[in-house]
Amino acid sequence: MPSENSAVSTALQVDPAAPILVFDSGVGGLTVLAELRKALPQAPVIYAADTAGLPYGTKTEAQVAARVAGLLGRMTERFSPRLVCIACNTASTIALGMVREVLEVPIVGTVPAIKPAAAMTRTGTIGLLGTQATIRQAYVDRLEQEFAADKRLLRHGAPELVEAAEAKLRGEPVNPAVIRRAAEALRSMPGGTEIDTVVLACTHFPLLEEELADAFGPGVAFVHGAQGIARQITRLTDGQDFARAVPDRALFTGTRDLTSSYAIALARYGLEGGGLL
């Protein structure tokens, strides 16, 4: 069992320039990075997007697990991060346990914010918008049993919203029909008119919160996990020094460096450089 002193010395051994690696299939993880910036503005960050694998939500569990484990293995060797944040509900609900077993670096995942939603709802009916892969995970069943057993949780997989969020961050217009369809899908389920709280269970979806709020109409609150994740990262890095040696950057998988397509959005999140992974 590590003593208090050994915990302190571990914290002191961390290279102040060691980054926090924030990982998603695309730009959704920026919604987590935004909260991390508020909590730890001095922390060096590498943002990694598996754009060659996007979208994860329409892939099988085996495909997502293999990509996530392979990429995180490669990236932890290359960048020696002090901590990895899997800023993706799909990757986390499928592969978090597995990657924690194989990688020797603290890993913080992103899972649907069912617990806070259950505490917020007044009608007892919660909507959950995620990817198709996320909404079928046993991980989500367990969260529902543990925190919302006495509530009605209505789940909808909305891959079109992932595309819409990506487009929005490239500066393209959001198709209102896509947003409307997602809201109507939940509203038209038995009990759906009672929804007063919606869990944004995909890190891309908070990028569309304004549009979704319009589509759902007044009286619906949205909840996601980004603030909680930032708090958890702050706790796990407590006592560590931070010193940015190089500008924070965004890295993409595949053969196309997408930095210029997302340049304005990336700069908004403090990511100055970019490149291919």
> Catalytic site residues?
88, 202
Site stretch for ligand DGL (CB under 6 A), options 82-90, 101-109, 226-234, 235-243: 82-90
Query: Which residues sit opposite 120 in a β-bridge?
Result: none
Q: Does 89 bind ligand DGL (CB under 6 A)?
A: yes
Token pair for residue 200?
């944004």
Q: Does 35 bind ligand DGL (CB under 6 A)?
A: no
Residues numbered 98-137 forming contacts with ligand DGL, rule: CB under 6 A: 131, 134
Residues numbered 220-239 forming contacts with ligand DGL, rule: CB under 6 A: none
Distance CA 225, CA 235 (A): 16
Q: Does 161 bind ligand DGL (CB under 6 A)?
A: no
Binding ligand DGL (rule: CB under 6 A), the pick from 57, 109, 225, 274 is 57
Distance CA 23, CA 16 (A): 20
Distance CA 43, CA 241 (A): 9
Binding ligand DGL (rule: CB under 6 A), the pick from 19, 44, 55, 109 is 55
From the CB of 158, what's the least distance to ligand DGL, in Å? 10
From the CB of 201, what's the least distance to ligand DGL, in Å? 7
The 10 Å Cβ neighbour count of residue 63 is 14
CB 21 within 8 A of CB 83: yes
Total residues binding ligand DGL (CB under 6 A): 17
Q: Does 54 bind ligand DGL (CB under 6 A)?
A: yes
Q: Does 24 bind ligand DGL (CB under 6 A)?
A: yes
Q: 55: cis peptide before it, omega within 30°?
A: yes
Please name the residues in contact with 152: beta carbons below 8 A apart, sequence gap of 6 or more. Answer: 124, 125, 126, 191, 194
Residue with tokens 């002193």: 5
Where does this chain bind ligand DGL (CB under 6 A)? 24-26, 28, 54-57, 88-90, 131, 134, 162, 202-204
